C-alpha cells in the first residue's frame, strides 16, 4: 500500500527506446550521490537499480566502492556499467549503474540507518559520498514503489 501511495510522487522519466518509465526519488543534482531507481521494461517484470554518481572537476575512473554505516564497514563492490560525461559547467560526471541484487545486503543495511558513507576509489582519485536521512528516505520510497510494481506484475 505504501508503494502505491509514493509512486505518483516520485520523479519519473519516459524511455521510449526501452518502452518504460523510470522512477526515482528526489536526488540532489549538484553533488555526488547514490540512489535507487526502478522501472518495468515493456511488459516485463520490474527492475530495481542502485546508482552511484560522482561529480567533480575530472573523472576519477571509478573502480570500486566501499560502504559503511554507523562506523561499520559493510564491504566493497566493483561497478560494471559506468558512463562518463562532461557537463556544461565543465565538471565530469561518472555514473555507475548497478543491479540491485548485486548489492542487496549493503543497500538494505543503508536503508536501515539514518546515514551512510560510500567511498569511491578510482584510478585517478578518491571521493566520499555521504547519504543523510533525507536521501535514505527517498531510497526507501523507491524500494516501496518497486515492491508495489513487482506485486502487481505477478
Checking if the pLDDT of 153 tops 90, the result is: no
Name the pTM for this structure. Answer: 0.91
Question: Count of alpha carbons within 13 Å of 89, Cβ hemisphere only?
Answer: 10
Which pLDDT score is estimated for 58? 93
Which residue spans within 25-91 are E strands per DSSP?
Answer: 33-40, 46-56, 62-69, 72-77, 81-86
Predicted confidence (pLDDT) per residue in 19-42, tens digit: 788 999 999 888 999 999 998 877
Closest to 70 (Cα-Cα) out of 131, 26, 120: 131
Predicted confidence (pLDDT) per residue in 75-99, tens digit: 999 998 889 999 998 999 999 999 9
Q: In sequence order, what are the residues at sequence separation of 6 or more whose Cβ sits closer than 8 angstroms to the Cβ of residue 24?
A: 10, 11, 12, 35, 36, 37, 38, 138, 142
Amino acid at each position: 500500500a505504501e508503494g502505491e501511495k509514493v509512486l505518483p510522487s516520485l520523479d519519473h522519466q519516459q524511455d521510449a527506446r526501452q518502452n518504460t518509465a523510470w522512477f526515482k526519488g528526489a536526488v540532489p543534482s549538484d553533488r555526488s550521490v547514490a540512489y535507487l531507481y526502478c522501472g518495468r521494461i515493456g511488459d516485463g517484470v520490474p527492475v530495481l537499480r542502485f546508482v552511484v554518481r560522482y561529480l567533480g572537476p575530472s573523472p576519477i575512473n571509478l573502480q570500486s566502492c566501499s560502504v559503511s554505516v554507523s562506523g561499520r564497514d559493510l564491504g566493497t563492490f566493483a561497478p560494471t556499467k559506468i558512463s562518463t560525461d562532461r557537463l556544461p559547467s565543465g565538471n565530469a560526471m561518472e555514473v555507475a549503474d548497478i543491479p540491485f541484487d548485486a548489492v542487496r545486503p549493503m543497500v538494505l543495511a543503508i536503508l536501515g540507518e539514518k546515514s551512510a558513507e560510500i567511498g569511491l576509489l578510482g584510478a585517478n582519485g578518491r571521493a566520499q559520498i555521504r547519504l543523510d536521512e533525507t536521501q535514505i528516505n527517498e531510497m526507501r520510497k523507491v524500494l516501496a514503489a518497486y515492491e508495489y510494481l513487482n506485486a502487481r506484475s505477478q
